[in-house]
Amino acid sequence: MKKKVIARIYIKKEFVEMFKKFAGEIIQKTRKEKGCLLYSLFQDVSRPQDFLFYEEYADQEALDIHFNSKYLSNFRAKTKDLLAKETVVEVI
């Protein structure tokens, strides 16, 4: 069964461009993962420091591969100090 992820990320205003650079790196890597069907990042027009990742995976195994990837762990480490508040992740 397909798995979808919606991750809302809130960045401090002064770090928006840096976050976008880091996000671009992870987008390229994730889209190459086996079982990744869709991986997109959206930036809020009225609040440009707010972002949303929308992700679709073929199944739970593909999602687990992504969640356990070294580059996702590195992305989280590089961006943790850029966050204005806690990221909200919903898996459906």
pLDDT over 90, % of the chain? 100
Question: What is the rounded average pLDDT for all residues in the chain?
Answer: 98
Nearby residues of 83 by Cβ (< 8 Å), 6 or more positions away:
9, 10, 11, 12
In order of 7, 11, 35, 59, 86, the CA distances from 79 in angstroms are 14, 9, 25, 27, 11
Whether the pTM exceeds 0.85: the reply is yes
Q: Domains in the chain, start-ordered, CATH in brackets?
A: 3-91 (3.30.70.100)
**Quick one: the chain helix, strand, coil %, rounded to 5?**
45, 35, 20
Confidence label for 61 from pLDDT (cuts 50, 70 and 90): very high
